[in-house]
Chains A and B, each alone.
Chain A
């Protein structure tokens, strides 16, 4: 393990040096640079940065395992997290880009001409991003801890220092180019092992095409063992839970402030459309690979581990048994390990693959660097978003409107440092499982921002009182349902806490519409501004007339 430790450490340090080097090279100078990278990021690279921002420790480490353990029911995550980009790119991104603000709370406050709405939105941004980043830091602690063989708490602290350093230094511009590098590292780390695994099991280097062969054998294998069949739908929850979860993840994606902020960094509405399309290509590469990981790992566990002699298991099982993530107790005492005697944690599926497929220490080290890239890039984007909400939406717009650029940058940097440290301290002793925390963040986003943004962009009649009521009711309903389903045991149609967003979003939409209609219509200026969003940025709508913007402008 000595050599493995050195190789992992070297690869992680080398990639970190690269990220920090890029961040230092691109040190932010102006306020606009700090938040939105001067709107000069080309769509392909912006797509990669969105991908890195998006794919967190949970996607990288946990998702393949979730699919392996849940079978068909786990696919709600695959469709939900990719489908969100349809809603985002079709319904929101180009219009938000044309409106031209730095942050989501700023858009909500200005569109609805309501300061209370801006403050609620800023608070919601902080709550959602903070919850999400606690999960990321906890995840990075697990990875650093496991791969560098140090205590998880020490691993978390190492992550905190790194994130605070480069987020505060570079701002969004540093982060954007850093995240492009992180995307390349994480996708290489994710795809290389599964390609080798496909070669070994199916003699085909393209896992996406070949894993069907393996999947088709599961039905017989499962029936022989008499266990829940992998391919049969709705064995782990009701059909409505599947749909509610998928909706929550889609709407949550379209309402997550740190993802939307990315679309403020493109030059034009056209670039926003292309960024969304490229982002889903880069994200899809990982999401299409996850079910292949799941199928291959399950196949190996069923055919090579289960059924073998208890004292003659493959060598790689021992190191994972030691971490407590895999349990192979021969409870029946017949000397053979039965499938039912094998208990595996979903989190090890991806991380254990290089060892299962015997790919050598370099690939294992690459895996470590990739997992760290996933955790750090998402956490970095979240921190910038929290900092923008605090320093821009709350400090500059409400507390000290006369603040200079320099002063606002300082507040932004300090809020990153403080937020990272506080999130890190909570992550030392996380309040729940990582995937659970992440799911709540999505439910909250789909209950608050999704209705407020969609109505704000598409419905001119939506007004200030409507959005304030909508945000508050959406938030309350989501939180109440999570609480009732989780602790009160009260559920509707079998929908559990992770699907709470569907109720929050419905309540948010209804409340916004009803309250808007029963109060005064928004001002003429607001109606004009929202009408203007119907047209591309070359056109300006004013006093019922449409003008073409001159090139010289």
Chain B
């Protein structure tokens, strides 16, 4: 085992936490935010539907899926930037089959 600077590790934690807060805020806005302002938003039309209905039926779900993939991709990037994924181990990780007991 080799030691790394705790400051580096904490920078990693801060980066990840900041990103998560941003994702959750976006997720909150497209669901709770739209519900709170449902009445004014209903005058806007999107894909033949009033915007508040569109967001509830499709927009929010699609945003959630998008956020989860952005998180998965960006997190891999952050891991790599902090040198936490070395290349040959990563190949195993992509398939998820690396057994880490």
Contact = CB atoms under 8 A, between A and B. Distances in A.
Given A41-B96, A243-B35, A536-B84, A90 B23 contact: yes
A268 B96 CA distance: 7
A548 B31 contact: no
Contacts of B23: 86, 90
A212 B48 contact: yes
Interface of A: 38-43, 46, 67, 72, 75-76, 78-79, 82-83, 85-87, 89-91, 208-209, 212-213, 215-216, 231-234, 239, 242-243, 246, 266-268, 270-271, 273-277, 280-281, 284, 287-288, 291, 534-541, 544-551
A539 B39 contact: no
Chain B contact surface mostly: helix
A454 to B, nearest CB: 12
A39 B48 contact: no
Given A72-B56, A83-B31, A547-B3, 9 more contacts: A42-B95, A79-B56, A231-B49, A281-B65, A284-B64, A288-B57, A535-B12, A541-B9, A548-B2
B27 A274 contact: no
Contacts of B101: 39
Contacts of B56: 72, 75-76, 78-79
B68 A243 contact: no
A231 B42 contact: yes
B9 A233 contact: no
A548 B6 CA distance: 11
A551 B84 CA distance: 11
Contacts of B20: 90-91
A453 to B, nearest CB: 15
A277 B68 contact: yes
B84 A539 contact: yes
A535 B9 contact: yes
Interface in B60-80: 60-62, 64-65, 67-69, 71-72, 75-76, 79
Contacts of B84: 536, 538-539, 548
Interface of B: 1-6, 8-10, 12-13, 20, 23-24, 27, 31-32, 35-36, 38-39, 42, 45, 47-50, 52-54, 56-58, 60-62, 64-65, 67-69, 71-72, 75-76, 79, 84-86, 89, 93, 95-101
B70 to A, nearest CB: 9
A360 B98 CA distance: 46
B31 A267 contact: no
B83 to A, nearest CB: 8
Contacts of B69: 277
Contact of B35 (A239, A275, A276, A545): A239
Given A239-B38, A539-B9, A546 B4 contact: yes
Nearest to A219: B50
A536 B100 CA distance: 12
17 contacts: A83-B27, A83-B31, A86-B68, A90-B71, A212-B54, A216-B49, A231-B53, A233-B35, A266-B96, A267-B96, A267-B99, A271-B93, A277-B69, A280-B65, A284-B64, A535-B12, A541-B9
Contacts of B1: 540, 547-550
Contacts of B95: 42
A56 B38 CA distance: 29
Contacts of B12: 535-536
Contacts of B5: 546
B4 A548 contact: yes
B91 to A, nearest CB: 13
B35 A90 contact: no
Contacts of A82: 60-61, 64
B99 A42 contact: no
A271 B75 contact: no
Contact of B6 (A284, A544, A549): A544
A282 B75 CA distance: 21
B13 A535 contact: yes
A270 B57 CA distance: 30
Given A86-B27, A280-B68, A537 B38 contact: no
Contacts of A42: 95-97
Contacts of B79: 270, 536
A258 B26 CA distance: 27
A541 B4 CA distance: 10
Query: Among the interface residues A40, A275, A536, which one has the most CB atoms of the partner chain B within 10 A?
Result: A536
Contacts of A266: 96
Contacts of B54: 212
A161 B63 CA distance: 41
B24 A90 contact: yes
Contacts of A274: 72, 96
Contacts of A216: 45, 48-49
Contacts of A83: 27, 31, 60, 64
Contacts of A78: 56-57, 60-61
A239 B5 CA distance: 50
Contacts of B24: 86-87, 90
B100 A537 contact: yes
Contacts of A275: 96
A233 B96 contact: no
B57 to A, nearest CB: 4
Given A82-B60, A85-B64, A239 B96 contact: no
A270 B99 contact: no
A86 B52 contact: no
A39 B58 CA distance: 33
B2 A547 contact: yes
A46 B96 CA distance: 10
A83 B34 CA distance: 14
| Closest 6 pairs (CB-CB, A-B) | A212-B48, A75-B56, A277-B68, A291-B57, A271-B96, A546-B9
